[in-house]
């Protein structure tokens, strides 16, 4: 059995390939900059993480369980009430949290 305990991907630290792709969809000079923002962007991250043939083979043949961690939404997600209030005040945060949880 394979137990994935987090850090499968990083919504807040995207790869160069993902940043290039994001730039074709929206202005990376605006929040959330080069981080993922919606469901389609999340599915792109998961695809990138599991695209390697050996990883795909492993996931297709070994029973696995997965849990997400803070990096699936934002590093140090929900660390304080002040942090939560600042993030909830941004226009893009709700979509990001919903998309992160749905894609997981």
Domain ranges across the chain: 2-103
Q: Which residue has the tokens 């991907």?
A: 9
Cα-trace Rg, the chain: 15
Give the other-Cβ count within 10 Å of 73's Cβ: 22
Peptide bond preceding 32: is omega within 30 degrees of 0, i.e. cis? yes
Q: Please name which of 88, 92, 61 lies closest in space to residue 77, comparing C-alpha atoms.
A: 88
Conformational region of residue 80, where left means phi above 0, alpha means psi within -120 to 50, and beta covers everything else: beta
Average pLDDT, the chain: 92
> What digits encode the pLDDT tens for the residues 68-84?
888 888 888 888 999 99
61 pLDDT band, cuts 50/70/90, is very high
Tens of pLDDT, residues 10-43? 999 999 999 999 999 999 999 999 999 999 999 9
């Amino acid at each position: 059995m394979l137990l994935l305990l987090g850090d499968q991907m990083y919504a807040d630290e995207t790869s160069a390939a993902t940043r290039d792709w994001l730039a074709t969809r929206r202005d990376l000079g605006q929040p959330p900059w080069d981080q993922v923002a919606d469901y389609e962007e999340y599915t792109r991250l998961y695809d990138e993480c599991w695209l390697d043939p050996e990883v795909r083979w492993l996931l297709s043949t070994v029973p696995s369980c997965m849990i997400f961690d803070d990096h699936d939404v934002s590093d140090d997600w929900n660390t304080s009430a002040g942090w939560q209030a600042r993030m909830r005040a941004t226009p893009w945060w709700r979509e990001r949290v919903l998309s992160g949880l749905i894609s997981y």
